[in-house]
C-alpha cells in the first residue's frame, strides 16, 4: 500500500515570503500584444542575480464581471515548452471566470525559432534547467523558487481586482505546471481549489528522467531538492480540495506516483478527487480537454452539480469495495487491474466487472487472480469520470 505521509519527518519551512508575495504586484500594460479583450501585461517578479524581473502574462475578465457581482477566477500554469496561452484564458472567460496565464521562463508568447525557443524578454528571470539541474545554485537563483513565486504573485493580482471574488479563485496546471500547482497548493492557502494535470509529486521515485535527475545529484543536494521542490514535501500542508487528472499511460508521470500524490492531498482534504482518463495524450491542448476539470471548478465556485465523490478503496480478502456519493447517477463502473507492475510506464490495464448497489451506493468487485494493482473507475450519467486510489498487492 502507498504511504499517505510526507517522506520528511521534519519538513523545512518553505523559502517563500508569503507576506511579500500576497501583495498585488505592480503591472505594466503591453497593449500592442493584447488579444481582443485579453490584456497583455508584465508584473513584478522576484529579483534575480541582484536585478529586478518581470513576468509576462495574459489576463481577462468575462463580460459579466462587475464589482457588484464579482466572478470566480483561475490561475493557469503552463508546462514544459509552454507559455502564457491567451487561448487558455479564453477557455475560462467563456465559462464565466476571470483568468490569468503567465510565462514562467521569461519568454514572450511568440513563435518559436528554428531551435524551438521563444524570444526572451529583457526582464527575464531564470529558465528551467532540465529536471532540477540548477540544484547547486543558491536557492534564490533556482528556477522553481521563481516559478512558484510568479504563480503566487499572479494569484495576488487577479484576486485584487474588484470584479473578482477572492474567495473563489482556483489554480490549474499542466505537466510541469502540474508540479508547480502541487507545490503552490501547499504554500498558498488562499486558493479555494486546485487542479494539477499530469504533474505530481514523489518524482525522485520515478524510473524516468525525474528519478534519474535526483540520482545524479550528490546525496545532500538530492535531499535538499526533495525538501524544496518536490511536491511531496508540500502536499501535507494542502488546505484546499484538489482534482488530480492524468491519462492511463502518461509517458512522464506514472500512475503509482500520481495516485500517491492524490492520496496525500486527500488525507488533508477528503473532498479531493482522482480522474484517470483512458486514452488521454500529453500536451497543453489535450490537458485542457477533460470535462471533469470544468465540472470540478464549477462545483467549487458556483455550487453546480458535483462530480461523484469516491471513498478510499477498501480490500477484504479478494474483494475490493468503494462507496460513492452525489446526486448524479452512476452510468458505468469497472475494476481496472494490472498483473504486471514492473514498468509503470507500460501498464496493461485489464477490465473486470463490478457489482453496483445503487441503494447503498457501494461498488464491489472480486480481485482477479494475479492482479498486482487495481482501482475502481466510475462514469456518471454526465460522462464524468472519477476513480478510487490505486492499490498495490505485495
Which ranges of the chain have pLDDT less than 50? 1-11
Phi and psi dihedrals of 351, rounded to 5? -120, 135
Q: Which pLDDT belongs to residue 4? A: 40
Q: 380 burial class (0-12, 13-18, 19+ CB within 10 angstroms)?
A: buried
Q: Which pLDDT belongs to residue 236? A: 96
Domain ranges of the chain: 18-307, 310-392
Q: What is the DSSP letter of 66?
A: B
Task: Write the CB contacts of 138 (distance below 8 Å, at least 6 apart in sequence).
Answer: none
The candidate with the shortest Cα–Cα distance to 200, out of 261, 273, 145, is: 261
Task: Write the CB contacts of 265 (distance below 8 Å, at least 6 apart in sequence).
Answer: 182, 185, 235, 238, 242, 244, 272
The Cα 306–Cα 162 span in angstroms is: 28
- Angle at which helices 143-160 and 219-229 cross, to 10°: 10
Q: Which pLDDT belongs to residue 45? A: 97
Tens of pLDDT, residue by residue over 75-88, are 999 999 999 999 99
The Cα 124–Cα 264 span in angstroms is: 34
Return the CATH number of 18-307, one of 2.60.40.10, 3.40.50.300, 3.50.50.60, 3.40.50.1820: 3.40.50.1820
For residue 190, what is the enclosing H or E element? none
Q: Which pLDDT belongs to residue 255? A: 98
The Cα 350–Cα 361 span in angstroms is: 24
And the C-alpha cell for 349?
A: 490495464
The Cα 140–Cα 131 span in angstroms is: 17
Distance of CA 96 to the CA centre of its chain: 21
Q: Which pLDDT belongs to residue 113? A: 84
Task: Write the CB contacts of 264 (distance below 8 Å, at least 6 apart in sequence).
Answer: 4, 5, 6, 201, 232, 235, 236, 238
CATH architecture of 310-392: Sandwich (2.60)
Q: Which pLDDT belongs to residue 350? A: 98
The candidate with the shortest Cα–Cα distance to 81, out of 252, 234, 229, is: 252
Q: End-to-end distance of the chain based on CA atoms, in angstroms? A: 8
The candidate with the shortest Cα–Cα distance to 25, out of 123, 154, 188, 151, is: 154
Angle of CA points 380, 270, 241, to nearest 5°: 80
Q: Which pLDDT belongs to residue 6? A: 43
And the C-alpha cell for 342?
A: 514492473
The Cα 110–Cα 103 span in angstroms is: 11
Quick check: 187 and 179 in contact, CB under 8 A? no
**pTM flag (> 0.75):** yes
CA within 13 Å, CB half, 171: 34
The Cα 342–Cα 88 span in angstroms is: 37
The Cα 102–Cα 121 span in angstroms is: 13
Tens of pLDDT, residue by residue over 37-80, are 999 999 999 999 999 999 999 999 999 999 999 999 999 999 99
| Cell 521542490, located at residue | 229
And the C-alpha cell for 130?
A: 532540465
Phi and psi dihedrals of 78, rounded to 5? -75, 165
Task: Write the CB contacts of 173 (distance below 8 Å, at least 6 apart in sequence).
Answer: 76, 77, 78, 79, 179, 180, 181, 182, 195, 196, 197, 199
For residue 225, what is the enclosing H or E element? helix 219-229
Q: Which pLDDT belongs to residue 11? A: 43
Q: Which pLDDT belongs to residue 276? A: 98
Q: How far is the CA of 51 from the CAs of 48, 108, 124, 141, 238, in angstroms?
A: 5, 19, 10, 11, 32
Amino acid at each position: 500500500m502507498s504511504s499517505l505521509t510526507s517522506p520528511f519527518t521534519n519538513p523545512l519551512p518553505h523559502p517563500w515570503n508569503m507576506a511579500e508575495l500576497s501583495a498585488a504586484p505592480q503591472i505594466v500594460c503591453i497593449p500592442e500584444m493584447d488579444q481582443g479583450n485579453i490584456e497583455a501585461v508584465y508584473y513584478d517578479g522576484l529579483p534575480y542575480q541582484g536585478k529586478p524581473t518581470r513576468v509576462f502574462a495574459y489576463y481577462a475578465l468575462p463580460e459579466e464581471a462587475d464589482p457588484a457581482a464579482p466572478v470566480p477566477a483561475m490561475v493557469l500554469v503552463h508546462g514544459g515548452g509552454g507559455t502564457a496561452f491567451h487561448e487558455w484564458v479564453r477557455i475560462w472567460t467563456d465559462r464565466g471566470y476571470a483568468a490569468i496565464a503567465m510565462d514562467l521562463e521569461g519568454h514572450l508568447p511568440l513563435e518559436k525559432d528554428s531551435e524551438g525557443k521563444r524570444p526572451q524578454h529583457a526582464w527575464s528571470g531564470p529558465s528551467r534547467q532540465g529536471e532540477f539541474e540548477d540544484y547547486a545554485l543558491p536557492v534564490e537563483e533556482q528556477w522553481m523558487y521563481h516559478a512558484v513565486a510568479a504563480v503566487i504573485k499572479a494569484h495576488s493580482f487577479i484576486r485584487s481586482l474588484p470584479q473578482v471574488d477572492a474567495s473563489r479563485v482556483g489554480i490549474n496546471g499542466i505537466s510541469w505546471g502540474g508540479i508547480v500547482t502541487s507545490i503552490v497548493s501547499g504554500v498558498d492557502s488562499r486558493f479555494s481549489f486546485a487542479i494539477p494535470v499530469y504533474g505530481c509529486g514523489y518524482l525522485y521515485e520515478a524510473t524516468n528522467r525525474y528519478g534519474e535527475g535526483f540520482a545524479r545529484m550528490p546525496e545532500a543536494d538530492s535531499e535538499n531538492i526533495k525538501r524544496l521542490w518536490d511536491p511531496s514535501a508540500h502536499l501535507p500542508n494542502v488546505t484546499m480540495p484538489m482534482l488530480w487528472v492524468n491519462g492511463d499511460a502518461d509517458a512522464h508521470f506514472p500512475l503509482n506516483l500520481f495516485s500517491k500524490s492524490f492520496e496525500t492531498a486527500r488525507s488533508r482534504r477528503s473532498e479531493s478527487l482522482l480522474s484517470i482518463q483512458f486514452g488521454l495524450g500529453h500536451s497543453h491542448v489535450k490537458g485542457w480537454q477533460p470535462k471533469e476539470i470544468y465540472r470540478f471548478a464549477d462545483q467549487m465556485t458556483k455550487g453546480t452539480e458535483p462530480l461523484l465523490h469516491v471513498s478510499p478503496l477498501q480490500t477484504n480478502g479478494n474483494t475490493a469495495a468503494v462507496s460513492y456519493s452525489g446526486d448524479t447517477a452512476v452510468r458505468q463502473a469497472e475494476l481496472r487491474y494490472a498483473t504486471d507492475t514492473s514498468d509503470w510506464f507500460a501498464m496493461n490495464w485489464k477490465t473486470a466487472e463490478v457489482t453496483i448497489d445503487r441503494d447503498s451506493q457501494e461498488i464491489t468487485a472480486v480481485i482477479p487472480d494475479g492482479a498486482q494493482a487495481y482501482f475502481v473507475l466510475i462514469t456518471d450519467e454526465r460522462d464524468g469520470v472519477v476513480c478510487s486510489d490505486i492499490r498495490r498487492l505485495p
